[in-house]
């Protein structure tokens, strides 16, 4: 059985970021992340790019996922809180006493 893997932090993943307005592409390894930006180590050096202005193709276990940068805005710790909150809201199944 295959389970969906939820990405909490982008650090350590290989990605291609494409700017929405003009198609400029950056390929490399994500080495840092803030609420609004991603730090990518490319062949030409380190680039800090805005999440909102880019589309991201992220490689996870050999599969390429495409994400709109606007959906990625937020600190990794905030993402964890959202995940935990949603998990706690799920009703228990078969555990009634």
Question: 10-14, 33-37, 71-75, 86-90: which range is least confident on average?
Answer: 86-90
Does 38 reside within a domain? Answer: yes
Report the C-alpha gap between 57 and 33 in whole angstroms: 16
How high is the pLDDT of residue 76? 66
pLDDT in tens, 42-64: 999 999 999 999 999 988 788 88
Does 94 reside within a domain? Answer: no
If one counts the domains in the chain, the total is 1
- Domain containing 43 equals 14-89
Whose tokens are 């809180």? That residue is 81
The share of the chain scoring above pLDDT 90, in percent, equals 39
Assign residue 76 the CATH number of its domain.
2.30.30.210
pLDDT in tens, 2-55: 445 556 678 888 999 999 999 999 999 999 988 899 999 999 999 999 999 999
Does 43 reside within a domain? Answer: yes
Does 20 reside within a domain? Answer: yes
Task: List the one residue out of 80, 74, 7, 13 whose CA is nearest residue 41.
Answer: 13
Does 4 reside within a domain? Answer: no
């Amino acid at each position: 059985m295959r389970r969906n893997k939820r990405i909490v932090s982008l650090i350590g993943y290989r990605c291609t970021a494409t700017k929405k307005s003009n198609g400029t592409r950056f390929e490399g390894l994500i080495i840092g992340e803030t609420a609004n930006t991603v730090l990518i180590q490319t062949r030409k050096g380190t680039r800090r790019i805005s999440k909102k202005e880019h589309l991201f193709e992220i490689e996870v276990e050999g599969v390429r996922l495409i994400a709109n940068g606007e959906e990625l805005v937020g600190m990794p710790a905030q993402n964890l809180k959202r995940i935990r909150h949603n998990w706690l809201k799920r009703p228990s199944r078969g555990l009634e006493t």
